Amino acid sequence: MRPSNQTSLAAEEAAKRIESDLTRRLFIGGLAGSASIFATASLASKLTAENSTAVSANGITRTTLESYVNGETGEEFRLVLATCPPGVGVPPHRHSAAGHNYVLEGVVESQYAGEDLKVLHAGESFQDHAGIQHTIYRNPDRNSPLRWLTAYTVKKGQPFLIVP
């Protein structure tokens, strides 16, 4: 007996959702693995360490969870947890390197010069582009915060976010 077209469509949609979920889980696992490889102290001690959290004038917090400097190349890997208050955005900026992001909580609107506006929700990931103006990055929700992880590598001491 052949399956109906409706059954085939449902199976295809289910397969797409499963593939998307597996991709998301692998990305999270990769971030967690990266963090654990470089871990030398507990997360709680890192969060209370001096200079590990920066707060911008508009209330966006960035906490460096991991930082590892490769002595041979002078490159620094950073894993950063960021929180953006409801309704707040980042001014136009650019990034010195590509960054890999994962939305933990909330909704984000993001747009690069020459691209369409993207709306991403908790459980979705995206990449920051190096050297291209990031024209819009904001939390459009007026009631809930936005939380996301960013992983990137820059030359030691170089900023990742550059506001003109």
Q: Where are the domains of the chain?
A: 37-162
Higher per-residue pLDDT: 19 or 97: 97
Give me the mean pLDDT over the 95-102 stretch: 97
* pLDDT over 50 at 39, yes or no: no
pLDDT tens across 101-157, in order?
Answer: 999 999 999 999 999 999 999 999 999 999 999 999 999 999 999 999 999 999 998
> End-to-end CA distance of the chain, in Å?
65
pLDDT in the model for residue 36:
46
* Alpha-carbon gap, residue 110 to 116, rounded angstroms: 9
pTM comes to 0.69
pLDDT in the model for residue 15:
65
Per CATH, the number for 37-162 is 2.60.120.10
Q: Using alpha carbons, select from 121, 134, 137 the residue that is nearest to residue 164.
A: 134
pLDDT in the model for residue 48:
42
pLDDT tens across 3-36, in order?
Answer: 555 556 666 776 677 666 656 656 665 555 554 4
pLDDT in the model for residue 9:
67
What DSSP line would sit under 92-124, residue for residue? SBEESS-EEEEEEESEEEEEETTS--EEEETT-
Higher per-residue pLDDT: 11 or 91: 91
pLDDT in the model for residue 157:
87
